[in-house]
Structures are given as structure tokens and as C-alpha cells.
Structure 1
């Protein structure tokens, strides 16, 4: 089978020789950026992830777009929702972070702002305005630059705005770039705002708005970017900052939501990176690890009964003896261990009898076998049996309190309690 790269021709490339022959450096830079993008889309540059692939090539690889589309229209395929488990969160979070870090917007927001070169050898002020136009059979380009700055003893403040608009047979591009720069000695403070939009005949579109702040190389900022390729549109909003907060415009002290991206020392206490919320209402949440000081829970549903949950049963009305040596079940319960561990069992009750001499007894059974018990020849005695046993994972154990006694005798207020230590 022919390799996709050798079979797929992509969008016609721009000749590098022709680019090098363009005298205007601004026009050459714009065209070079476009040519670089086309090379990536054609698969001749980059890692190949952004290469154009036709439907025919997908069909050769075993993916029939038309057939898949018809299947979706007919309601084919699985519609069952995916359930995210807490154990899936760390791996998924790493993938999400990698996806963000590899995005074009993230990388652009982290790049240093380039210093604009001006003559700082002479004190004074200067205003500069330049306009460049080029119209040919293939492209129409206009670039306008407005710049003003003030210089004193090598220190300067600068403001520059650059407007670029371009149209070709296959694309259109517009950009507004604003730079504010100040420099005193080796200290620099830079702000850059970019607004740009691009569209091509093959369905590629991009719209971007970013603001970056560069303080001696510490770059931060935020940006909104939407990209479309053959109808598939993805929009991204990214903030790159050490901390991000939302506060009330009516109450200067209310800051209910804060995000730290780096550790911070607050009054001697290190605040680790994370999201800090004063109050949250969450309809549905998946949590891998939680540290909770005080929790109020209406209903607790825990998968696999994977915590220490007590099991209880009682027989408050009492059971009468029908003869010493005849055992009667008083109260029972089942203990299910989804994880292996120890189970503690405690049984209690009160034995009563009429006048005269009576013999009674009680015993505790685990899966039908007696593990604790005693017999007495008196009355009005409090019964207390305690026992512990080890249960394997996935097992269910039946625990029973039994009673024997002459007539008339009885056991009342019987209770059976069990708790599994699963951690």
C-alpha cells in the first residue's frame, strides 16, 4: 500500500525561492508564516498530527466516513454514558494537562515579549508612522505601524501599534498588535495585546485575542482562541498566572474563588497549588482523595461497602423458652465483606423467669457454629457475648444469637451488632 505522505499532495505549497525574493521584510514574514502552516498541514513539517487526510485515505485505513455517518443517523453505536471512577481521575488529569500544555495558545502565552529596538543614544521623544502596501495578482497586503517613544539617559517608554491586513486567492488574514514597553537599566515591563483572525479556502479558520505581561522575563497573561478545521471547531480560554481569583464588585472583601498555580507563603504557612473555594454547590462530583473536617451528608452510598459500616439487628419483644436443651433463634444478621478483614461481633440481652428454679442458656453462632455461650441457673441476668473473626473478601457470614430455657423463662431486648474493619 502506498504511504499516505507520498500519495497525498495537500494544499499547493508556496515556493521558498519566491519567498526569499520578497524585498519587504514584513510581507516576507507574513508569507513565511503562511507557508510554514501549509507545510505542517501537508505533512512536510512537524510531527504529522496536523496533516490533511482525505476521506479516500481514511477508507484505505479502514475508516469509512460515509458509512459511519449513516450509522450515527440511524442511532447506531453505544449510547451508554461513560462512568468516571475516582481511580481514573489522576490519569485523565495528566492527559488534560498535556493537551493544554501542547496547545498553541498555551505556548504563545508563555513566550517572552520581544523588545522593540529603538535608538536610545539620544534623549528626546519621537513619533514614527509607516505604511506599506503591495498589490499583485496573487495577494493584496497593507501594513501600518504607529510608534511613539520617549528616551532619557538610556531609559525609555514606548508604545507601538501594528495593523496588518492581507487577502490572497485562498486565504485572508487580519491582525492588530499593540505593544507597551518600558525599560530602566536592566529592568523591563512589557505588555502586548494581539487580536487576529485567519480564514482559508480549505476550511481552516482561527480567531485569537491575547494579552501578555512580561516583567523581567516573568510572563503571564490570558487568551481566547477558536480554531476550526473542516467544520470541527474548538475554542480555548487559558489564563497563565501565579494566582487567579474572582471577587464581588459590591463587596471588596468577598473573594470566594481563588486558584494558586505555584506554592505561596501566607503568614508563615505554605499554600500549595490548587483551587480554594469558600463555598461550593456541586450537583455531581468525582473525587479521588478528600480531606474533610466536617461533613453533613444526607445519603451515603459507597461502592463496594468499602468503609467500616456497622450492621445491627434487634429483637426487643423477647423470645420465651420452651425447655432447657431446645435452642431458639433470637436475632440474626449477615455481615458481607467486600474486602478481607476482621469482624467484631457483640450480642446482648436480658434473661427473665418466673418464680422457682429455672435453667437458661445463650450462645453465639457464626455460620452455624457456636463460638461463645454460657448456662445459668438463676434469672434476671444480662447477657453479653463478644467475638471477633477474620473474613475473606467477597464473603457473607451469618451471625445468630440463640436462647434455651425452662418454661417459664424468656430473653428480651436482644441486640446483635457487627462491624467489619476493612482498612
Structure 2
């Protein structure tokens, strides 16, 4: 697509005259929508010339990297984000074509007078030629009418040529059943050295089916529905239905796939928001550091007896990304005097609990299952957590010491 100049909207803010501002703002909006800078990709529009370039490769049609072709040529494809716009533009172009309009016009008939029951066949031949132009036309019309029920079939063939290099050939067949007009046609035109042809079917359903003959199983591999219908009680929307398709290159804006068997996939960039995978077999998996949440933990079950002093009984480190860290601390302890216990992160206490005995061995305390859960957000980097015990009096003992850290990522 040829780049169209854009006008920064902020540049218009200095205009004092309100009418001038409104006019220039409208022009800026048009150019920015044309460029795709305003709105989504479906808001941008293309010119008639660019639509014509779709056949030869415009900017909407790009090359597909890595696709191997027998001719060693990289094929063109349309970006998925442009598909809806291109389809709308092509549909508008088809609907404006002379062949589309001709196949939708009612058949002109000269009803024979009489009883209201008509069966007739008309043939019209036109030939015309002079020094600069030539025309040949043949129109056959069949009509059957009974009362207000009427159906007509018309076959038209026409060729034209003139000295200016313009030529045209057209063949069409259409049926008019009480005003319901359907048909097909082929047209080929050329203006000097630029030929263009078009084949069109205007019908509710178009299909390609197998021939009839010995040993041939009936197949209909390709069906096009142009209007919604109901099949066996189920609504079927308009669209293209294929029993089997082999595609060399496909550009798909949105896909709903129930089952896919893909032999080889080349994916340059994939963004998957949510995936549910029952079984995955991966030869090589590369993940950034702690891209997957993995807990860090330490566990020391052995009973250790201490006298007075400060003792670090368990230590564990985790590399944090800055998200909150869930912490679980558990241990068993017994003693007969004051024992301080705490959890610290790099020397800073984040939790503490003290035990107080009566001061004699006959009245010692025992806490076989101390368990606490907490959470904090220390910031990014390596964080080291330690479980510390301290006593200034009698002997105490600890056992089943554990620290579990889990960064709770989203």
C-alpha cells in the first residue's frame, strides 16, 4: 500500500479559528484512518487501484517466509489482520460488476395474449458492423406461464470489438421464477493489452460433485452456500464447506479447529494466553529463569540439642522477580527456659515466636508441631531466609525444621 501522508492531530491545536480547525481535523482523521493509524486494521481502507493490485501483489499481499515452492518462488499471502477488509472490498467490487448486475435482472418477456397459459420460445439475433466496431449477439428465451405462476430461462451470448482496442465476450444463462432470479455467466474483457475475465454463479448453493458411472462412489467435496439454510433441523450459515482440502499456503484470520494433525509447523511468533494440554511431548524445552513457579525449600529432621547461645538451624535462598513470596515455617522444640525463635531474611526479622518454661527441668515445655504461614514482597533478587533459635539459660532441643518458599506469580 502506498504510504499516504499523515497529519499529527496535536499539530492542529494551535489553530484559533474553530471552523478551520474542524475542517483540517476531518482531513487529518481521513488520512490517519486511511493509513491504519486510527482504529483497528479493519478501519483502514484501500483504493480501487490497490484492489486491482491484489492480483499482482500489492502491500496487503506479502511474502510467506520459509515456504518451499516447486518453482523456488516465495508465494504471496494476505496478512490475517487484513482478511476481513479485503473480503469486504472484493465483495463490493463483485457487486458493482456488470456481470453480477446482469445476472440479477429480471428477464424481459413479451407475454402472448390469450388464456393465461403460455409456452413459448423467442430467439433474437443482432449483428452490426462498421469501419470501427463490430457486434454479434444471440438471445434465446424460454417461457412457461400458467395464471400467476411464471418461469423464464434466458441464454445470452455476445461479442464486441472496436478499433480502440476494446474487446468483450460474454455468455450467461439465468432463470426468472416469479421474480426469483438466479444464473451463471462468463465474461472476458480487454482494453488494449490488459485482459480480465470473470466467472460468476448467483445461486443459493453451488457444488462440485463426482461423475456418474460404474465403480464411482458419489462424492461432493466442495459446497458453497450463499444464503443460510437448515439441514436435518440444524441451522447452517452461509459459507464454503469442503470435505477435504489440501492447501499449500493459507492465511487465516480466525480458526476453530476440533482436531488437527500437523506434520510440520513453522511458527515464527506465537502468543498463547491460555493453553490446556493433556499430554505434551517436548524434545527440548527452554525457559527463562524461574519463568515457571518452582518452590525453594529446606528440611532438617534430626534432633539437635543446644545450650545457651544463638543457632541458625535452617537456611534457604530463592531468586525473586519481585512478586509476593508465600512462606511456610515449621519445627518441633522442647526446653525448660526462655527460648527465642524467629525467621529472618538477610538479617531482617520477618516473624518471631518465644517459648517460656518454668525454669526447672521438672516443668519443661514441648511443642512438637509449630507451623506458621505468611507472605511478603521483598523485591527482586536473591533472598536468603534463615530459621534462628536463641537461649540464655538451660538446654533446649529442636527437630523437624522446615522452610518452604513459593513466589506467587500470576
Give the alignment partner of residue 127 of structure 2, picking from 165, 171, 174: 165
Separation (CA, whole Å) in 2 of partners of 1:267 and 1:303: 42
Q: Cα distance 1:374–1:96, how it changes in 2: closer, same or farther (>3 A)?
A: same
Structure 1 residues 19-418: aligned runs within 5 Å: 81=63, 84-118=78-112, 120-121=113-114, 153-250=115-212, 251=216, 253-297=218-262, 298-299=264-265, 301=267, 303=269, 305-308=271-274, 333=289, 335=291, 345-348=292-295, 359-367=313-321, 371-373=325-327
Deviation at 1:305, TM superposition (A): 1.6
Q: Cα distance 1:175–1:163, how it changes in 2: closer, same or farther (>3 A)?
A: same
C-alpha contact 2:151 2:176 (8 A) present in aligned 1: yes
Separation (CA, whole Å) in 2 of partners of 1:401 and 1:265: 65
Q: Cα distance 1:170–1:257, how it changes in 2: closer, same or farther (>3 A)?
A: same
Give SS of 1:236's match.
strand
Q: Cα distance 1:260–1:356, how it changes in 2: closer, same or farther (>3 A)?
A: same
Which structure's residues are more often strand, by fraction? Answer: 1
Give SS of 1:287's match.
coil
Separation (CA, whole Å) in 1 of partners of 2:318 and 2:156: 79
Give SS of 2:123's match.
strand
Structure 1 runs (4+) greater than 6 angstroms displaced: 349-358, 375-378, 397-405, 416-420
Give SS of 1:245's match.
strand
Query: Gaps spanning 5+ residues in structure 2: where?
Result: 1-58, 64-75, 277-286, 305-311, 333-372, 388-405
Residue by residue, what CA displacement relative to the aligned partner does 1:269-322 show, whole Å, maximum 9, x if unpaired?
A: 111111111122222222222222222334372745243369xxxxxxxxxxxx
Q: Cα distance 1:154–1:332, how it changes in 2: closer, same or farther (>3 A)?
A: closer
Give SS of 2:294's match.
strand
Larger radius of gyration: 2
Separation (CA, whole Å) in 1 of partners of 2:230 and 2:380: 55
Separation (CA, whole Å) in 1 of partners of 2:199 and 2:181: 17
Separation (CA, whole Å) in 1 of partners of 2:167 and 2:144: 34
Q: Cα distance 1:165–1:273, how it changes in 2: closer, same or farther (>3 A)?
A: same
Residue by residue, what CA displacement relative to the aligned partner does 1:347-394 show, whole Å, maximum 9, x if unpaired?
A: 15786889886955445433267724556779xxxxxx9x9x9xxxxx
Deviation at 1:193, TM superposition (A): 0.8
TM-score, reference length from structure 2: 0.53
C-alpha contact 1:364 1:372 (8 A) present in aligned 2: no
TM-score, reference length from structure 1: 0.52
Separation (CA, whole Å) in 1 of partners of 2:409 and 2:119: 73
Q: Cα distance 1:417–1:306, how it changes in 2: closer, same or farther (>3 A)?
A: farther
Deviation at 1:268, TM superposition (A): 1.9
C-alpha contact 2:315 2:385 (8 A) present in aligned 1: yes
Give SS of 2:154's match.
strand
Deviation at 1:161, TM superposition (A): 2.1
C-alpha contact 1:213 1:219 (8 A) present in aligned 2: yes
Deviation at 1:163, TM superposition (A): 2.1
Residue by residue, what CA displacement relative to the aligned partner does 1:254-277 show, whole Å, maximum 9, x if unpaired?
A: 212111111112222111111111
Q: Cα distance 1:332–1:236, how it changes in 2: closer, same or farther (>3 A)?
A: closer
Q: Cα distance 1:93–1:332, how it changes in 2: closer, same or farther (>3 A)?
A: closer
Separation (CA, whole Å) in 2 of partners of 1:401 and 1:183: 92
Q: Cα distance 1:198–1:350, how it changes in 2: closer, same or farther (>3 A)?
A: same
Separation (CA, whole Å) in 2 of partners of 1:399 and 1:184: 90
Give SS of 1:346's match.
coil
**How many positions carry a matched residue from both structures?**
262
Q: Cα distance 1:302–1:163, how it changes in 2: closer, same or farther (>3 A)?
A: same
